Amino acid sequence: MSGSREEERRKLADIINHWNANRLDLFEISQPTEELEFHGVMRFYFQDKAAGNFATKCIRVSSTATTQDVIETLAEKFRPDMRMLSSPRYSLYEVHISGEERRLDVEEKPLVVQLNWNKDDREGRFVLKNENDVFPPKKSQSNGPEKTEKEGVIQNFKRTLSKKEKKEKKRRDRDIMKQMTEEERPQIKDDNDALQIAVDVYKDMPETSFTRTISNPEVVMKRRRQQKLEKRMLEFRSSDGRPDSGGTLRIYADSLKPNLPYKTILLSTSDTTDFAVIESLEKYGLEKENPKEYCIAKVILTPGGQHSEKCMKEYILDDDECPLQIFRDWPSEKGELVFQLKRRVLDLLSKQNRKHENNSADRKEKEDNYSCWISSDKLPYLVELSPDGSDTRDKPKLYRLQSKVTEVGTEKKEDNFIQLFGLGIQPHHCDLTFMDGVVTATPKTTDAATFVDGHCISDTTMLHSGVKVQFGSTNVFKFVDPNHDHLGRRLSDAGQVAKGQRNKQGLQETTFGLDDDVLSGTALSTSKKRGMVKPIIRTDKLHERGCRKAENGCCCFSNLNVFNIRSQDSHGPENMLPASIEFRENSEDSFLSAIINYTNSSTVHFKLSPTYVLYMTCRYVISSKYKADISAVERSQKVVAVVNKMVEMMESVIQKQKNIAGSLAFWMANASELLNFIKQDRDLNRITLDAQDVLAHLVQMAFKYLVHCLQSELANFMSAFLDDPEESNSQGPKIDDVLHTLTSAMSLLRRCRVNAALTIQLFSQLFHFINMWLFNRLVTDPDSGLCSHYWGAIIRQHLAHIEAWAEKQGLELAADCHLSRIVQATTLLTMDKYSHQDISNINNTCFKLNSLQLQALLQNYHCAPDEPYIPTELIENVVSVAENTADELARSDGREVQLEEDPDLQLPFLLPEDGYSCDVVRNIPNGLQEFLDPLCQRAFCRLVPHSRSPGIWTIFFEGASDENHFLTENTDLPLRKDPEIITVTLKKQNGMGLSIVAAKGAGQEKLGIYIKSVVKGGAAEVDGRLAAGDQLISVDGQSLIGLSQERAAELMTRTGSVVTLEVAKQGAIYHGLATLLNQPSPLMQR
């Protein structure tokens, strides 16, 4: 190999090593050969417009394979042409989450394109699309239903057109296209349509640990940010050599993103406004917007404005002004300066403001446009309550909050302070900031105990009218905002305007009013100028008015730091779980022990019952219903004690039952689900960090014990792989025994509702065990005769059964990855290896095998009587290539080059990021009431259903919003024992329009047929009563229970133009199969 070729190979190897270091093992790329060829697994998506969704497949691709080669393979893999009436024309697209995409040329190399993502640590996807699968939009006007019905009939009786008719039809179609407007015309290559592919694929299949290639996106993003930061800092130093030529600047966007406080951008003092706009849009996730439609406003909060009519002035910056330089040059005595990102709706008026800034008369006029009037009786205030939170004081003090910052503490300030004394009050305890119509509370230190509605806060928290605010142990106040109703209307109207503007630009955003959840609430940065707040005595009239305003709403919370007001008179759903648990204090230990220590996992119908009961227990203890007289600190301590007790009991149970697979799967599922509840709950998360670490350890411990149990059971039947078909051994284990063991393990995990990510990891361990057991037998026992063409073929045939089973279960990727070495070993035993021409083929096919393994397999090879011997020179050449490729790759990954496969799979245990039951379970799960009945009968506890709950279990999760809270409409039947059975009659035209899948759920002895998706435009979608997750009980009176998917599909195709279906609504959720609906699997389209 020439020096330049070797240098090129070395550079390519460095790029591949960088890729492998940051990507999942599944997408590992092999080291380049002497011809610079390499191989890797790629994931492809197929856009099925008929079904309205995406399918996905992973295939191994060579760097020499062109786009056309890959398309031909994918077309065969996806087999979409089974449903096509016309011949498809496929293209391959490269898309990214930002919306960027392009169509690959037929001669491009997709694997090389993917490797180029390495440059910026990018993530992307490849989408196969049928270019003929484009449906022009229907005309808004039609001739009525009669014409539609007639067209549907005609379509069923189309005949083959003659050449003349085809030519005439083509001419008519061309005329119609000319008459269409640009919006109506289907543009295959149009940018908007291209963008829609990227939007659709990421919407239909969001980024998770199973759809991305990057192994640790957080680390990659951190490194990318660090590189960008270093580059910018280098620019700052190189411009003039001064260390202060750059810095950070806070950019607010209240009108665009009211739920985000601000974003910090990195600027130099010479960076202009137009550059700052681009950086700000990127930070706020609006990088696809046109920067010319946005501007940055300079907002001046004048000192002493709280005592005058002028409290705010705003000017739009010119594109060539430098925001950071302006900020640094701004004198503090002129007031506070902040920057707001806005749309250019007031650009013209703002330019006029700047032109006449020096004219005092004009300046007064412009200030009137931007100043805000707040009369004293409209200012928000704190009214004193009794230490227990009741409104019983005869002459309570009232503190009005002026604009800017009000300090709370024992120290007496010159201006704008509330002086308090009592247990736990710090000299400078808390800042109350009133700005832009919003009041926030910010504790100054971690020791400054501050509570909002009984919840201890540590960060800036937005206050809403009616909440109780407590400083220290005894100083309790009610916060009242007289402008609450008016402000709510103003924000709502602003939201409608913003929404209209966004719709015009094609963006999907939501603006929240006061009745919507806000993720965090920080006001603009605080001012150094403060005015004094004098305590005054509230009159009876003020008292009555304040009470009336406060009583119009009741407090409910959407996260630890944000509180909302919801009318008590509302008849809609409330922010509460579908049910709550209440237990007697003196029976706490007995109650928890009955839930954890004395639960028989085999008799529990709803396998996650302990999780839901324990979570409701935590929510009960943290609520004011449990010991209403204790302080917030004591309540937090009690919650921690209860959670720790749960974890200790769970650990004891797992240790005692570490040899029982059923119990381990049961408690692994419950421990992982409980950990997710506690981690996601905004109130429990911060106070139970230690318990979360222990729970995570328990999940891993149960996982390890369960793997050991299943491997021990599997070991009893591994000799089935070495069963000689020519010898009759009826007593020994068969390959069916291995398959039965795997099937039993899968049934156990599904019955216990184990998270799909844990299921995949567990079966990865089992596949590795099979791989290790067989491979080590091949390479360590040269006298066994297993290294031969005969035994290679037998073992490969048995492995094919395992691979087929894995594909049916949706585990084909795990099997392909972890059975790869034994599969490549059997391939080596059965392939040609007799001449110099075979060397390249051997190394390309057996790239997973290192030099020691290849040497052992080839040297121990037993030739058949009519088979030529393997040349020694060939073995040496094959081993030499492996030393430079597979061995080097292993060493670069920190692995030892060894002959035998490691008994333990060297992969870190990963807790699932998503796919938990709380995302799909609605109302009170079927079986939970029965689980609690014995405890309720013994008076340990009681279950309280909440009929006005929205029916979801994520109501108290961090970032939960009203949009998610109230999706469930049928909350009046929380104790339904079985799915609702309905009868649906469909009038078919071209087809039923359903995708079905057969599965066996928890508590079911027979297979059931479930709807996985409803095809757009089909009879089912037109009818509107069927949905994904529904179970099909019968079709035209013939039962589908216990039938295979193929048999059920056959019955459904034999139906007439009118079909009657008996359906169990959302049967998949009731039977624990909700996660199955999210897994890509081969389905039959009907």
Give the confidence band of 1021 by pLDDT, cuts at 50, 70, 90.
Answer: confident
Percent over 90 (pLDDT), the chain: 15
Confidence category of residue 616, pLDDT binned at 50, 70, 90 = very high
**Tens digit of pLDDT for each residue in 26-36?**
788 999 988 88
Is residue 944 pLDDT above 80, yes or no?
A: yes
> Is 454 a residue whose pLDDT tops 50?
yes
Tokens of 787: 């290294």
> Is 65 in contact with 74 (CB distance < 8 Å)?
no
Average pLDDT over residues 478-496: 55
Distances 554 to 563, 565, 569, 626 between C-alpha atoms, Å: 10, 6, 10, 19
**Predicted confidence (pLDDT) at residue 521 exceeds the cutoff of 60:** no
Residue 169 pLDDT class (50, 70, 90 cuts): low
Mean pLDDT of 570-580: 68
Q: Is the pLDDT of residue 100 over 50?
A: yes
Angle at 371 between CA 367 and CA 374, to 5 degrees: 150
- Contact (Cβ atoms closer than 8 angstroms) between residue 647 and residue 691: yes
Split at pLDDT 50, 70, 90, the class of 235 is low
Residues 341-349 have a mean pLDDT of 62
pLDDT, residue 219, reads 56
Residue 99 pLDDT greater than 80, yes or no: no
- Mean pLDDT of the 785-808 span: 88
What average pLDDT does this structure show over 987-1011?
A: 79
Which of these ranges, 64-78, 557-571, 875-889, has the smallest mean pLDDT? 557-571
DSSP strand pairing (90-95 vs 263-268): unpaired
Cα gap 415→427, rounded to integer Å: 15
pLDDT value at 155 more than 70: no
354: tokens are 């700047």
Q: Give buried/exposed letters for 661-695 (b at 16+ CB in 10 A, else e).
A: bbbbbbbbbbbbbbbbbbbbbbbbbebbeebbebb
Closest CA to 898 of 852, 952, 967, 961: 852
More confident residue, 610 or 859: 610
Domains of the chain and any CATH numbers: 3-135+188-213 (3.10.20.90), 218-370 (3.10.20.90), 376-489+518-564 (2.60.200.20), 579-704+914-965 (no CATH), 756-892 (no CATH), 981-1085 (2.30.42.10)
Work out the end-to-end distance of the chain between its first and last CA atoms, rounded to an integer number of angstroms: 57
Name the residue type at position 778.
L
CA separation for the pair 668, 72 (Å, rounded) = 43
Long-range residue pairs from 1021-1029, CB within 8 A, at least 24 positions apart, any chain = 1021/993, 1022/993, 1023/984, 1023/986, 1025/982, 1025/984, 1025/1063, 1026/984, 1026/994, 1026/1061, 1026/1063, 1027/1065, 1027/1066, 1028/1077, 1029/1066, 1029/1067, 1029/1068, 1029/1069, 1029/1074, 1029/1077
Pairwise CA distance, residues 519 & 706, whole Å: 40
Give kind and range of the element (H or E) at residue 502.
helix 484-505
Taking Cα atoms as reference points, which of 1025, 1029, 1028, 1012 lies closest to residue 1060? 1025
Top-confidence residue, 569 or 203: 203
- Digit-coded pLDDT (tens) for 252-307: 888 787 767 788 888 888 889 999 999 899 888 887 788 888 999 888 876 655 43
Distance CA 596, CA 671 (A): 11
Angle separating helix axes 756-780 and 789-808, nearest 10 degrees = 180
Task: Kindly list the distances between the CA atom of residue 1010 and the CA atoms of 8, 916, 1063, in Å, as whole numbers in the listed order.
Answer: 54, 20, 9
pLDDT tens digits, residue range 730-779? 677 888 899 999 999 999 999 899 998 899 999 999 999 999 999 998 88
Provide mean pLDDT across the span 1049-1072.
81
Q: Which residue has the higher pLDDT, 710 or 226?
A: 710
- For residue 552, pLDDT over 70 is answered with no
pLDDT band at 709 (very low <50, low <70, confident <90, very high): very high
3-class SS string, 257-280: CCCCCCEEEEEECCCCHHHHHHHH
User: What confidence tier does 357 reach under pLDDT thresholds 50, 70, 90?
Assistant: very low
Question: Is residue 1068 within 8 Å of 1010, Cβ to Cβ?
Answer: yes
Average pLDDT score over the chain? 75
Check residue 109 and give its pLDDT: 92
What per-residue confidence (pLDDT) applies to 707? Answer: 94
Structural contact between residues 267 and 353, judged by C-beta atoms closer than 8 angstroms:
no
Is there a contact between 47 and 103 (Cβ–Cβ < 8 Å)?
no
Q: Please give the Cα distance from 698 to 648 (Å, whole number).
A: 10
Compute the average pLDDT of residues 152-173: 49
What is the DSSP track for 687-701? T-HHHHHHHHHHHHH
- Please state, for a pLDDT cut of 70, what percent of the chain lies above it: 71
Integer angstrom CA distances of residue 678 from 606, 611, 640, 780:
20, 10, 11, 49
Q: Is 326 helix (H, G, I), strand (E, B) or coil?
A: helix
pLDDT-based confidence at residue 574 (cuts at 50, 70, 90): low
